[in-house]
Amino acid sequence: MPDVDDAQDGKDYHIGVPMQSNAFFLKGSNSLDWGMKNRLARIFNPATGKTVMLAVDHGYFQGPTTGLERIDIAIVPLVPYADALMITRGALRTSIPAEMAKPVVLRSSGGQSILKELSNELVAVDVEDAVRLNASAMAVQVYIGGVHEHQSIGNLVKVVDAGTKTGIPTLAVTGVGKELVRDAKYLGLATRICAEMGAHVVKTYYCEKGFARVAAACPVPLVIAGGKKLPEPEALKMAYEAIDQGAAGVDMGRNIFQCEAPIAMIQAVRAVVHDQEKPDKAYELYLSLKRDAVPNRS
């Protein structure tokens, strides 16, 4: 029985002071339930509204990608510098220590390989397993204009519905087939469809022309993929321009883990995303951190 001997009437009711009721910091997210908001606030830094998500899920369709041959060796040291880790359940369970306190964005679609049609995916994780793994979000690929467009939208819907029951947000990833052009018209179509189908965050590619319109027309936070490895100054410039034009962060893989100095690069990306550092300054930061890490290389 609770100890009631010392119970006293409270005094600090602040009568006349309205109950605080602030809008949630992420766009399009104010009507979500507390658990969803709390998970999103683990992925996105509430102080900046942005995220640096480290994507290491490439093996789910392309096997041991360069830089990901040994996730335990190459990726674990990067985790402290990321805001969130996008990863498959297989890689998480086998290669990432459970002591890691970073939020997990769990790759939840799959079922194909680079040898076959990429859009032929299914839901590849049961939501119960996402709960078991303490996932902060589930990630599903959506192939607008792809051979299996309908099926991939169906996968998104299933994951959004399962996540809504358990309070886990869904990140929709716009997969773009080789035959499609990554311009603002296409990316605007794909990202908007994902958000309208219930995705809580959308991941897409940056495009040189019209990205601000893509970001503005997406009613939930938009993060960009890095895409294939670029020279570091170009990758930092792309991240800067995306943030400047409305992206809420990056979900970057190869442009970090395929760098000669990945820890230096992720810190330079953080400077761009969270501190709006200009790309040339961020590149200087990369070079100086790289010199410290690998003293004999410039």
Site residues (vs ligand 5RP, CB under 6 A): 55, 57-58, 86, 141, 173, 175, 225-227, 251-255
**Least distance (Å) from ligand 5RP to the CB of residue 120?**
14
d(C-alpha 56, C-alpha 180), whole Å: 24
Provide, rounded to whole angstroms, the least separation between the CB of residue 20 and ligand 5RP. Answer: 37
Q: Closest approach of Cβ 55 to ligand 5RP, in Å?
A: 3
**The pair of three-digit structure tokens given for residue 148, joined into one six-digit string:** 């299996």
Residue 116 to residues 120, 147, 294: CA-CA distances in angstroms? Answer: 8, 12, 40
When the beta carbons of 29 and 152 are compared against ligand 5RP, the nearer one is 152
- Which residues, 6+ apart, have CB-to-CB distance to 202 below 8 Å? 171, 172, 173, 174, 191, 194, 195, 218, 220, 221, 222, 223
Nearer to ligand 5RP, 232 or 251 (CB): 251
Residues 232/265, Cβ–Cβ less than 8 Å: yes
Q: Strand pairing partners for 231? A: none
Residue closer to ligand 5RP by CB (options 37, 232) is: 232
CB-CB neighbours of 126 under 10 Å: 12
Distance between CA 242 and CA 214 in Å, rounded? 10
As given in the structure block, the two tokens for residue 99 are 């002591």
Minimum distance from CB of 289 to ligand 5RP (Å)? 20
Nearer to ligand 5RP among residue 32 and residue 222 (C-beta)? 222
In the bound state with ligand 5RP, the residue whose beta carbon lies nearer, of 9 and 179, is 179
Nearest distance from C-beta of residue 80 to ligand 5RP, angstroms: 19
Give the residue among 110, 182, 102, 114 at the shortest CA–CA distance from 145.
Answer: 182
Active-site residues: which are they?
203
Question: In sequence order, which ranges of 32-167 are alpha helices (DSSP H)?
Answer: 34-43, 59-62, 71-74, 89-95, 127-132, 149-166
